[in-house]
Structure 1
Amino acid sequence: MAHAQTAWRAAGLFVTATVLACGGNAGSPSAPSNPGARTVTITASGVSPTSLTVPAGSRVTFVNNDTRRHDMTSDPHPEHTDCPEINTAGALLPGQSRETGNLVTVRTCGYHDHEQPTNATLRGRVLVQ
């Protein structure tokens, strides 16, 4: 009986050591998460949501669920100067996602697909409050 208990304790210690060596417990992400993160999804139908309100300091993640490439950039076209933080999302191949920089200035940030700047379904805005 003592041998079985020792074997179970050893197995438990091995599992605990393995979990800790691999980065901690299951409740902690391996990279710090941004509590202000928000998501804009791109599909063949356009961007959703078209208007998004975020607190200052947030980042927005653009997710390309379309079958074609999209290049999400700040208004106005072609300068892309209103909210340079949006330009860091940039070109997204199908299935890719990318975050903007931290949106720290309170303002409205218009954005569009650089490759289709007049397509109203691929235009949106982020209201930074």
Structure 2
Amino acid sequence: MGQIHHNQHGARHTAALLVGGKSALTTQLMKPNYRRCVSCRQVAPKEAFWRVVRIHPGHQVQLDAGMGRSAYLCPQATCLKAAQKKNRLGQALRAAVPLELYQSLWQRLSPAPFADPQCPK
């Protein structure tokens, strides 16, 4: 079939010959995408973090969606506090992070108010 090669990141690939003698690399083992928190520097799968994005080509910063430069933050009060105080998101994104974005992150941290069954609607 083909030979096993290791790329610069240590991932294993198998070289397979295609029509015309060109080689293609197919990943043998799929590894999860890991990211690092800009505040505490913890490494974890990207699903464990909040994603903050500077949209390309502008400098608009938003949460969770979009293509552009991204920074990841643990969903913990200590990380959010340090990131806001030391402007870690702004430095990683190379853009100003609006206060409204930090406010929405703080709202995500606060527990949702539960419905009181004795309270009239």
TM-score normalised to structure 1 length? 0.27
Greater RCO (Cα-Cα under 8 Å, separation 6 or more): 1
